[in-house]
Amino acid sequence: MPADVVPGAEGWSVAGGPIGALVLHGFGGSPATVAPVAAALVGAGLSVAVPRLPGHGTHVEDLVPTRFADWSAASEHALSELAASCRRVAVVGQSMGATLACRLAARHAEVVAMVAVNPLVLPADPQLVDMVRLMLDAGEVLADGGAPDLADPEASEIAYRKTPLAAVLSLYEALQELQADLGRVACPVLIMTSAHDHVVDPLNSDHLAKRVAGPVERLVLERSHHVATLDHDRDLVAARTVSFILRGTAAAAPEGRRSGSGDPTAG
């Protein structure tokens, strides 16, 4: 049986207005990681869903058997539920949450705006992938993950300190498959990138900006590290997310984007 959810790491949703926002946390994190952004969206009157992805927010052993397909299915389900009661929907993702957001924006016409905070979208280094496979072949299950990457000494994150190797390998494999989806992201995209990210190379943000088909806005976060949603720039991240989504959803046609509007070869 899964362990009890860590207090503060629960998934949650709020029914608000006809505009919806799906907010997705990253690998090893929890809904608490993106709570300030989600709370700001609620404060702006949006309907908001913040799912706890499978295996997260409990104990790291619960993450060991999960795979990217599980996290993707959970994000699809959350989007479907939100879209059922909202005219227009935006997706927001931090790190791997942005990986999932890209898949949703590429495949669902009801997504009319996307926000990516320190997105993970580049294919993994083949040497890193080989190393993880060798560790798995040697019988290793977990690797040290280190402390959350935060510049603010007063900030903290509910996140695992260990990395399940098979789970992260599934993420690396999904990043390769994601490349075909990026050119199909035709909605407006806001990319926020920490200048000093020690987990995800900022080149991921450049790659995303070049590959998507829709219009792109960018913001560099000078004072934050990888977990920018909880770091020194958390208020800026929240405010820009709210303003971008309100503008993007207002500009979109009520029925959302047309399917197939993206060019798979763009970028």
Token readout for 95 is 């790190």
Q: What is the set of active-site residues?
A: 95, 197, 226
Pairing of strands 19-24, 12-14: unpaired
Q: Can you tell me which residue has the tokens 């402390």?
A: 147
| Residue 267: burial class (beta carbons within 10 Å; 0-12, 13-18, 19+) | middle
Residue with tokens 């993450």: 63
Residue among 59, 5, 50 nearest 25 (CA): 50
Which is nearest to 191 in space by CA: 174, 173, 214?
214
Residue 163: name the closest of 38, 51, 63 by CA. Answer: 63
In whole angstroms, what is the distance from residue 40 CA to residue 184 CA? 28
Rounded distance between C-alpha atoms, residue 46 and residue 63, angstroms: 31
CB 245 within 8 A of CB 46: yes
